[in-house]
Structure 1
Amino acid sequence: MGGVTVLTLMKEKKTSRLQKALIWLFLVMLLQGCASWSKKDDVDIDPVDPHEDINRVSYDFTDKVDRVLFEPVVDAYVQYVPNAAQRSVGNFYDNVSYPNVVLNAFLQGKIKQGFADGLRFVINSTVGLFGLFDMATHMGLEKHDEDFGQTLGVWGFESGSYLFIPILGPSSERDVASVPVSMFTNVLFYVGAVAGAGVFAPLTVLGAIDKRARLAGPMRIRDQAALDPYLFVREASLQQREFLVYDGDPPLNLYDDEPFQDNPFDVKPKRPVSGSESSENDHSEEAVQQKNQGKDLSEQGI
């Protein structure tokens, strides 16, 4: 009886040792697997878009909101509102946000442009009936596109990681700083503070419809041509932001694969030139228009 007990105890000890060995082997394999996956993740992470998983969720959410809520309204707006009225609405919203352009022109050291932009805002706000009519352009005062994100870029700040903000659209760690600046330099912010939500809310809704209507063309291209719409929007937005920061003439070393030749909208960039380069001066207006044209997809979100 005692011999049986000893044998039983010996078997139990062997079994216990075997179990412990198997457990340790499993833990070692698990740790090695985690380490290999960690290395793989480090390799696969795009330094430009390290938050891609979260950004894709934000993009998908925004796209669904757009298709369900905004797209039907915008389709009706484009179909039934006369083009002249749509143009006046667009002029109005461009004008109420134009103090942001004036401020950032000065912050970027573009003093002459800043004064011209300030005069443009005054003329369109008065002669142009609160911006409904773009009288300043007819007087030779060109429209520019500046914001605080561009200003930080001019000051030497890197764009940082790519971000897709729900509803607002593509941005970056640098360009996020332009959101509050744009808000506080928009005339509608102060109109809402004085007149209340009864005036501010419908103006905000109409502004969102106008913005989405301007994006109809780029979004149609995205849907028809892009195998991965998220990547299409990301790459177009990042390239366009650099295009804007450098006033249409980004350095070639910003793009590793090949020289930057065409922007996402098939416009050929040409930087506005000084008066001393009179032989190329005729192209300056074209460059400004191209820069403004590129603004649309960089704001895409709704």
Structure 2
Amino acid sequence: MKNLKRVAPLLAASALLAGCATSSQPDPRDPWEGANRGIYQFNDAVDRAVLRPVAEFYTFVTPQPARNCIHNVFSNLGEIWSATNSFLQARGHDFFNTLGRFLLNTTMGVGGCFDVASANGARKIPNDFGITLGVWGVGQGPYVVLPLLGPSTVRDGAGTAVGVFGNIVNVREIDNVRVRNSLWGLEVVDTRASLLEASKTVDRTAIDPYSFVRDAYLQRRNAQVLQRTGGADGADNLPDYSDDEDDVEPAAGQK
């Protein structure tokens, strides 16, 4: 582990330098493409060496019902933050629906293990502070790939930072260090496992995986803001690149 901590910064720096060359036809949404590609390569290397194998082993040894329960519990914990953002966006209907989902799944769904709300027609409404900023009129800014976290924008990066401190219903608030770290690790593995099929799709079909992930991410984030502002009819028909409507990103930035 100590050696990994020493080598990781060197790998990150090497990947960043390797991607510093600019594209001959840069995408105006991605002015930092050279650096972003370097970070993407670093994330991809970490993902293929560590996260993906762990996620594949997890899906192999853990029965599907148990995986569903774990995934639903973590998803349920995020409902309060989603509801908070719906409130900040002045979307009262979404706020009460999401709060109702949380209460129903926490009680009747045994702490969120069973998604009783979805079974009764109350669909999940993914939301976060990055979307809230978009609803408030803040531009998305340049596309950026965050180390280990993956696709983002300047706006979404700020939203992620606010979410770390604003979302108090999560495993980070547990006082017991061992329990907290164990649950956090399980959450990372669950998130990565939920995106294994998406990763396989990218590997099979994308000529340039970096551009594929970037375009899919920007398209979906734009659609989420438009859905809440009424800026475009039919935004709900745009493709959903997340798992089961959860607005989660793989830990190593791979879709």
Question: Residue 237 of structure 1 contacts residue 297 of structure 1 at CA under 8 Å; is this kept in 2?
Answer: no
Matched, 1:78 2:30: no
Give the match's secondary structure for 2:213: helix
Partner Cα distance (1:53, 1:220) in 2:
25
2:253 aligned residue: 301
Residue of structure 2 equivalent to 1:30:
none
219, 231, 237: which is aligned to 1:239? 219
Letter in 2 for 1:185: N
1:191 aligns with 2:173: yes
1:167 aligns with 2:119: no
Larger relative helix fraction: 1
Once the two structures are superposed, the pairs formed by residues 1-302 of structure 1 within 5 Å of their partners are 44-183=25-164, 184-189=166-171, 191-192=173-174, 195-247=175-227, 251=232, 263-264=238-239, 293=245, 295=247, 301=253
Partner Cα distance (1:112, 1:85) in 2: 32
Q: Is the 8 Å Cα contact of residues 170 and 300 (structure 1) preserved in structure 2?
A: no
Q: What's the secondary structure of 1:131's corresponding residue?
A: coil
Q: Given that residues 131 and 225 in structure 2 are in contact (C-alpha distance below 8 angstroms), is that contact kept between their aligned partners in structure 1?
A: yes
RMSD (Å) for aligned C-alpha atoms: 3.0
SS in 2 for 1:170: strand
Deviation at 1:224, TM superposition (A): 1.0
Tell me: CA distance 1:298–1:261, structure 2 relative to 1, closer, same or farther (3 Å).
farther
Q: Percent identity?
A: 34
Q: 1:298 to 1:175 in 2, by over 3 A?
A: farther
Shift of 1:139: 3.7
Q: TM-score, normalised by structure 1?
A: 0.68
Tell me the distance in 2 between the aligned counterparts of 1:206 and 1:294.
17
Once the 2 structures are TM-superposed, how far is the Cα of residue 123 of structure 1 from its aligned partner?
Answer: 2.1
Structure 2 CA distance for partners of 1:190 and 1:59, relative to 1, 3 Å: closer
Q: Aligned partner of 1:130: which letter?
A: G
Q: Are the counterparts in 2 of residues 240 and 295 from structure 1 also a CA contact under 8 Å?
A: no
Instruction: Return the alpha-carbon distance in structure 1 between the equivalents of residues 95 and 251 of structure 2.
Output: 23
The one-letter code sitting in structure 1 at the alignment partner of 2:196 is: A
In the alignment, the residues of structure 2 paired with residue 98 and residue 206 of structure 1 have an alpha-carbon distance, to the nearest angstrom, of 18
Conservation of the 8 A alpha-carbon contact between 1:124 and 1:135:
yes
Question: How big is each residue's C-alpha offset from its partner over 1:202-247, in whole Å with a ceiling of 9 and x where there is no partner?
Answer: 1111101111111111111111111111111111111111111122
How far apart, CA to CA, are the structure 2 residues paired with 1:121 and 1:102? Answer: 9
Residue identity matched to 2:204: Q
Rounded Cα–Cα distance in structure 1 between residues aligned with 2:52 and 2:250: 19
For residues 52-71 of structure 1, give each alpha carbon's deviation from its aligned partner in whole angstroms, at most 9, with x where no partner exists: 11111111111010101111
Q: 1:191: how far off?
A: 3.3
- The structure having more radius of gyration, on CA atoms, is 1
Whole-angstrom distance in 2 between the partners of 1:139 and 1:292: 16
Aligned residue pair count: 231
1:86 and 1:65, CA in 2 relative to 1: closer, same or farther beyond 3 A?
same
- 1:172-210 deviations in Å (ceiling 9; x for gaps): 011112213332314225532xx2321111111110111
TM superposition score normalised by structure 2? 0.80
Separation in 2 of the partners of 1:89 and 1:236? Answer: 27
| 1:73 partner letter | V
Q: Tell me, what secondary structure is at the counterpart of 1:187? A: coil
Structure 1 Cα separation of the partners of residues 216 and 224 of structure 2: 12
Higher mean C-alpha displacement, 180-189 vs 84-93 = 180-189
